[in-house]
Amino acid sequence: MAQYAVRESPPLRGEIPISTSKNAVLPIMCGALLTGDDVRIERPPDLTDVKTLCSLMTACGCSVKQEAHALILNAKTLKEPQDEEDVRKMRASVLVLGPLLARLGRAETSLPGGCNIGARPIDLHLEGLARMGAKELDAGAGKLVLAAPGGLHGTDFTLRFPSVGATETLLLAAACARGTTVLRGAAREPEIADLQDFLCAMGAEVRGAGGSVITVSPKRKLHGCVHRVIPDRIVAATYL
């Protein structure tokens, strides 16, 4: 077992840059699938999860360009992902379901993998999407197929508990749905507020993030934008 010796030192001084938030950038990257225009994400963190999601988005037909301090995404030719391995690597892959349903009317993917802390099922994601008009089709073990041939519609949905992932999934799905969506019992994390800011920069009408009730007004077509993700509060707290 590794051991660390901590000795008394003079007072620490200086400044250190804080990387952008992984938990904010992943749903924002998936939000880029809602438009066929360029989406520029400033200062994405250099993390394996970001690289894995880039690979998954490429499998969805999204072009991914890496610049020195930005990630440029373009999902003009959106399609369902065929690479099951990338889906199984990370739980955040479930966040592509809303954009795929919103733009294609269908989403076929493998069940997401990733973090094994607790059971963490995706039932809330599926319940909310079902209330918006998505139907789950029989796809066999390990597969998930949802269809909304008539498009997604707004709904008034109360989450049984404030799931961050389900809140993000339903926000992404509602951004291009017909009619107003009201999410009650929503997660209140700052990453949710950052996703709202990103969607609004794309032309969506979202309000209430940071509180327990979020309202998404109908907006059928979104456009590209430039967005700088919030700093990572966990990294900042660690340094503090």
Cβ proximity of 96 and 60 under 8 Å: yes
| 8 Å CB contact between 87 and 109 | yes
What amino acid is encoded at 16 in this protein? I
- Measured between alpha carbons, how far is 80 from 86 in angstroms, rounded to an integer? 13
CA–CA gap between residue 228 and residue 240 (Å, rounded): 23
- Give the residues across from 136 on adjacent strands: 146
List strands edge to edge, sheet with 156-158.
156-158, 181-184, 213-217, 205-207
* Among 115, 176, 200, 225, the one annotated catalytic: 115
- Based on the residue annotation, tell me whether 115 is a catalytic residue of this protein: yes
DSSP state of 40: E
68-71 long-range CB contacts below 8 Å, 24 or more apart?
A: 69/42, 69/43, 70/40, 70/41, 70/42, 70/43, 70/44, 71/29, 71/40, 71/41, 71/44
| Sign of the Cα pseudo-torsion (74, 72, 215, 144, in order) | positive
Catalytic residues: 115
